[in-house]
Amino acid sequence: MIYCVGVGPGDKKHITNYAVELISNADVVVGFEYVLKIIETYLKSNTKTYVLTYKIQVSKLEEIARLHHQGLTVIVVFMGDIHFSGFQLLERVELACGHNVETVPGISSSQILASRARVCFDETSFITFHRRGNIEPFKKHLISILNDNRNAIIIPRPFDFMPKDIACFLLDNGIDTTHQVEVWENLTQAESCWTGFLKDLNQDFSDISIMLIRCLVPIVSQL
């Protein structure tokens, strides 16, 4: 069996019981180093781990797909929840396996941000730039989210479309300078938060950061 499992935003409190159960019974666990670190205490002593890097991920995934086809239980661990900004890796896993695989949801960094920043998902759209390929359609979509008076929760792209680049792009495209923005770093770990107006965002942040742009007129105040 092979499962793709979301392991939460970083700390142990936010890993689901099901993820722990799967990981602690696995023959093989695969993931990027940062994500493997989150779950290392749950590994059996004889579980084999495979570290993915962007360069070697395709060949590593082919290798682990062979182990899965030999009958081993393989868990591919994902940051947060697979279903937000995780599908490019999921697609690579499925391509290597030759079939669809089961996904197990986790707690996303976007959910932690929503809780810290008190944001209602109903009034919010989610967008990731953390992807390979052309991000132009996603940039356009972000403009339309804000023009539709919705909050945007945004995963930047390290390191060529980070929060300050996103702010600059939006201002160049006529978005109101007074949108309230928050950039959260290292949620659930050594957290920090920058808050200010869109026009004032020119700081650098690490790759473990997620951004909120609030709509100008909160729907709740229109009731």
Ligand X SMILES: C[S@@+](CC[C@H](N)C(=O)[O-])C[C@H]1O[C@@H](n2cnc3c(N)ncnc32)[C@H](O)[C@@H]1O
Chain positions contacting ligand X, by CB under 6 A: 9-10, 78-81, 84-86, 108-110, 130, 155-156, 158, 184-188, 207-210
Q: Scanning the structure block, which residue is given the tokens 């919010």?
A: 124
Question: Of 157 and 214, which CB lies nearer to ligand X in the complex structure?
Answer: 157
67 phi-psi bin (left φ>0, alpha ψ -120 to 50, beta other): alpha
What minimum distance in Å lies between the beta carbon of 69 and ligand X?
Answer: 26
Question: Of 33 and 176, which CB lies nearer to ligand X in the complex structure?
Answer: 33
Nearest residue relative to ligand X (C-beta):
80
Give helix 57-69 / helix 87-97 axis angle, nearest 10°.
Answer: 50
Longest CA–CA span in the chain (Å) reads 59
What minimum distance in Å lies between the beta carbon of 15 and ligand X?
Answer: 13
Give the C-alpha separation, 83 to 108, whole Å: 9
SS3 breakdown of the chain: % helix, strand, coil, rounded to 5?
Answer: 40, 25, 35
What minimum distance in Å lies between the beta carbon of 135 and ligand X?
Answer: 13
What minimum distance in Å lies between the beta carbon of 81 and ligand X?
Answer: 4
Question: Of 41 and 177, which CB lies nearer to ligand X in the complex structure?
Answer: 41
Give the C-alpha separation, 76 to 21, whole Å: 14
Cβ contact 102:109 at 8 Å: no
What minimum distance in Å lies between the beta carbon of 46 and ligand X?
Answer: 29
